[in-house]
Each structure stands twice: as structure tokens, then as C-alpha cells.
Structure 1
Amino acid sequence: MNQIPALLPKPQLQRPLWIYAAGRVRPWEEAVLHVTSEGCQRGMNVFEGLKGFWQPDGRFGLLAMRRHYRRLKRSAALMHMPFEMSFEAYDAACHAITACQREPARNMWIRATLFLVEGHWGIGDSTDLVLAAYHYPRGVPPRMATGVSTWRRAADNAVPARIKSSFNYLAARFAKIEGRSRGYPEMVLLNEQGRVAEFIGSGLVMVRDGVVCAPPASEGAFESITIDIIASLCADLGIGFERRPIERTELIIADEIAAVGTLNDITVIGSMDERPMGPSPVLDRILLRYLDACEGREPHPALDLTFGD
């Protein structure tokens, strides 16, 4: 039986030397937000998580940049936040911040956050894009223990999951703290109907009878770029894929489960609420194909990369 630790170790937070803010790369300490701004007082921000991978030829590529850019613009539009930066400038800024900090032994993850820095209740608004880049291990993510949280994903007409914003992670914060007390780094959030929405910081995919299943956006799941990529990989690998509601009890009888997203890649679940899960032949196959494409060994059109100068 999997051993579930009583408490997770205290995380070692990275403190980079550089950050992108106010239009350029600058020392970390210079990225400031006034306490009276709506970005600070009301949590008015939208963000994306981006991932960069080393390639066999020594180049460093950022994954699915156009899709992440479009999703950031969509979140900003839903929040009535102006964001006029072109894709070319956005892509160049992301490569600029990673170029300052790249290490050959590790990949990188970028938190791209658009803050509302001027304006009041939609009048006179202006924003600033802040990019913070962190190192991330290369290779296959280790299997993870998890469970179902008592906290719920809010409805679309209350806190829309379609908007990737910090305020949307309030329930996730509660669930994260709840999970930490049980030794779980991630937790599953259910929706108001008691069905599966997603993990607190990742999408969720489940395998039953050889078919990969994922909750649709109507279940409170964020519209995941990684799950879209998995669907494309499944089509090429001859693996069934469908989006459908997932009941809580299916998590108990599922053949395989994974937390998927830009940060976690495809992290296979080793136990669910202390119930050990067995081998994961379907998800392992998808994961290896995913990493082969991300790291340039076997490119795939669904995993497009951009490269800086």
C-alpha cells in the first residue's frame, strides 16, 4: 500500500534575480504594485502558466505560446481589462526573461500575470504584464498521492472557471491547505452538483476501459490547453478520448488518473484518498509521447514551440 505522509515538507520557494515588469527585464525588487491599485485591493488580474523546454540542438523553446496568448487576451476581455500587447512582443518578453536565468539541467516555468494598475471599476483602466520565471525539473513527473476536497468549484454565474484569475483560486487555496494536512500536494475539486471539475491547479483526465475521459468546461473545468494537446495525441496514438461528466465514484473505480497542465505536464496519480492505483499503461504512453514532442526528440504539430534569438 502507498505510504501517505502525515505532512508535506515545507516548499523551497525560488527567488529569481530578474523579473519582467513595466515593459522590460529588471531586478526582482523593482517589480512593484501600488497598494491602492485594483490589482492589489480587488485581486484584478489574469494570468497564464507557460513552460519552456531544452531541445537536443541546444535551443530553448516555449510551448503553445499563441494559444496561451489568446487565452490570456480572452481572460482579460472577460474581466474588461485592456491588453493591447501584440503576440510578437509577448513572445519576445517571455524569451527575454528566460534568457536571463536558463540553466541547461532544468526546464523553466513562467507565471505571466496581467495586473490592473490604474483605473476604478472599469473607468480609466490600464494594465501591466509581469513575467516571473522559475526553474523546473526535466523528465517524467513522479507519481502523486491525492484525494477529493470538501471544497467546491463555484458556478459559472458566480466565479467563472473560464477566467484564469487569482480570485478564481480561493477555493483552491482552501483545498490546498486541506490537502496539505493529509499529505496531498493536489486535491480534486467537485462542482456544485457533486461531479468532478478538476484538480486545484491542474486539469483532470481519467482512463476507463482504455478510453481517456476529461470533464467539459460546463462541469466547471478550466479550458485546458494541455487537455486539448492530449486529445490530439490520443487521436494519433489510436487511443479513445471523450469529454463527459465524471461522477465522484468513478475516481474510485478508474483504471488510471492524472493531473495535467502546463506546470504538472501529465502527473500520474498513485493513490486516491489512500486507495492505491495500479499501473498506468495508457497515460504513461501519452506522457512519453508528450515529453518526446516537448523536448524535441519527436516533434508533433499539437505541441508547437517558439524560440528566441
Structure 2
Amino acid sequence: MSERIVFFNGNWVLASQVRISPFDHGFLYGDGVFEGIRAYAGRVFKLEDHMARLYASAKTLMLTIPYTPEELSQKVLESVRINQLQDAYIRLVVSRGAGDLGLDPRSCPEPTVLILADQIQLYPETFYQNGLALASVSIRRPSGDVLNPAVKSLNYLNNILAKIEANLRGVPEVVLMNAQGYVVEGTGDNIFIVRENRVITPPSSAGILNGITRKVIMELALAEGYRVAEENFTLHDLYNADECFLTGTAAEVIPAVTCDGRPIGNGQVGPVTRRLMAVFQEFARSTGTPVEQGTSVA
């Protein structure tokens, strides 16, 4: 594989030539925002939605992005095109930029902007066919009054601590709960359960990131005739669900068949999950912003 070309502070350079300042507050303090974006068959999926979330996160952090959403969208498209990719995972990062060793963001006059397009496979194909084993963990999601989960920031330590626990438990993914004991999400994915053909996912108020794939799946499930609800649920509800699956930009839609050693449903990938996996792939590969033309078709 040839070395990737990345967009870095206004220039296209080889990935090995990128130099982040040791004084960058994104590196020092996790002060910044990011988006993970997918391209399918030469189309960037839900680009406008990703841009809206990026700029909303930046506004909350009072972080001024030195490009308009339209300009940055074109850079995202170009990152796929210049690396000659059809299917890609794009990481768009805006950090506070270089400053001093203090916390004050006012010491950082210019943000750092990085766009990297590459390929990703978060889980092996066998997990999509046979399902994941999940485990609940002791790590809790911070409440919204501590760190608003709607802000997709560079501070992912909570997720990483949960992933460490997943590794120690010998499972590929874990389930996090909030302080009230309700299931929230995985380390980097939203979670759904299915009960009697009802597709249920935790509400925003539970302390989740409003995932773009999550939103798409809710819309597709409604179009398929399923009842969709945003409701709090517990581990007890998860253990006794008919089906379970996770959604995310990198993971897409992936089934889970056990949790804490308990089979979910019959312990196999269920029909609702399989149907939603199929319609998502069809939808993702037929919509989006074409990389070549740069105009939206859906």
C-alpha cells in the first residue's frame, strides 16, 4: 500500500511528513473535535450530517474552524480522491492548536486541521456473520452535566478505559451504563435491542452520542415497518431481548448474541438484525456525495 496523503493545515502532504506541535492542546489536553466518516463505492456517506455535528461540537467548545462547512466538505472529498479510494474511512480532526503549557485556549491562535483517508475493518467478518460476545463493565459514562456526550471531542479516555476492560475480559466489545444503571452504548458504538419486533435504543437524555448511523438505522427500521422507540433499558432488558446489535460509522451494523455469558434471544443473529444489516449496506452504497462530482445525490 502506498503512503497516504493527508490534508494538514492547508496543505496536502505525505502522512509521514505531518508534524504536530508538542504544544498542541489537542495532544496535551484532548482539546478538539473530530468526525469519523465513511465512503462507499466512491460516495461519502452522510457528509452534511457529519459536518453539522462537527461544527456544533466546535461551537460548544468555542473552537473556530478556519474553513466553511462547504470548503471543508470539499477537502474531505478530495482526501478520498487523492488517495484513489472507493471505500474509505475518513478521520477529520480539528484541535485547538499550538499554545503554551497552560489550559487556557486563548493561548492557541490557530487550530490544527487534519484529514486522513484510509481503510478500516473494526471487526473481523466472522463477527458480522455470527455475532459479538458482550460484557458489562464497571466504567460509567459521564453524565451530561459533567461532559456533554453530544460533543464528539478528542477526549476519549472514558471509552479507552472501557476498551481496556473489554481486553481484560476477553471480549471484543463491552456495554457501558450511566450513573442510573441504564445501558448507554459500547466503547464506540450505539446499541439497539429488539423485543417483539420493536427496535429500541437509549434516548439522547441517557448520555449517548447521537450517532449518525444510529439515526439512519432508526429511519430504515421505520421504513421496513418495525416500531422504533427511544427508551431507557437495563442489563436485565438486554439479557432478555430477542436480538441486539450495535451501530457506528466504523462498525456499521454488527450483531451481538451474548452478554455476560447469557445468550440474547436464541444466541444467534436474529432476523430483524440481518434485515437491517442488509438494507443499511444497500442504502449506504447507493446514496451520499460522489467523490468525483462533489455534489450530493441524497
- TM-score greater than 0.5 by the shorter chain: yes
**Equivalent position amino acid for 2:83 in 1:** Q
Unaligned residue ranges in structure 2 (runs of 5+): 294-298
Root-mean-square deviation (CA, aligned residues, Å) is 2.1
Contact (CA 8 Å) 1:50, 1:63: kept in 2 or not? yes
1:130 and 2:114 matched: yes
Residue of structure 2 in register with 1:89 after alignment: 71
**Bigger proportion of residues as strand:** 1
CA offsets 1:123-177 (integer angstroms, 9 cap, x no match): 254212211222135989342222111100001111211111121x212111101
Residue 189 of structure 1: how far off its partner (Å): 0.8
Alignment equivalent of 2:276, drawn from 277, 283, 286: 286
SS, match of residue 73 in structure 2: helix
Aligned pairs for 1:1-309 (under 5 A) are 16-54=3-41, 60-103=42-85, 107-119=87-99, 121-123=104-106, 125-136=109-120, 141-142=128-129, 143-167=131-155, 169-276=156-263, 277-296=267-286, 304-309=288-293
Identity of aligned residues (%): 23
Residue 24 of structure 1: how far off its partner (Å): 2.6
Q: Matches of 1:115 and 1:294 in 2, distance apart? A: 29
SS, match of residue 71 in structure 2: helix
Contact (CA 8 Å) 2:90, 2:117: kept in 1 or not? yes
Residue of structure 1 in register with 2:296 after alignment: none
Q: Matches of 1:290 and 1:26 in 2, distance apart? A: 34
Length-normalised TM-score, structure 1: 0.85
Runs of 4+, deviation exceeding 6 Å: none
Length-normalised TM-score, structure 2: 0.88
Taking a change above 3 Å as real, the CA distance of residues 16 and 148 of structure 1, as seen in their structure-2 partners, is farther
SS, match of residue 120 in structure 2: strand
Contact (CA 8 Å) 2:256, 2:269: kept in 1 or not? no
Residue of structure 2 in register with 1:8 after alignment: none
**What is the aligned residue count?**
282
CA offsets 1:100-123 (integer angstroms, 9 cap, x no match): 33456xx21111111111456242
Taking a change above 3 Å as real, the CA distance of residues 16 and 202 of structure 1, as seen in their structure-2 partners, is farther
Contact (CA 8 Å) 1:24, 1:93: kept in 2 or not? no
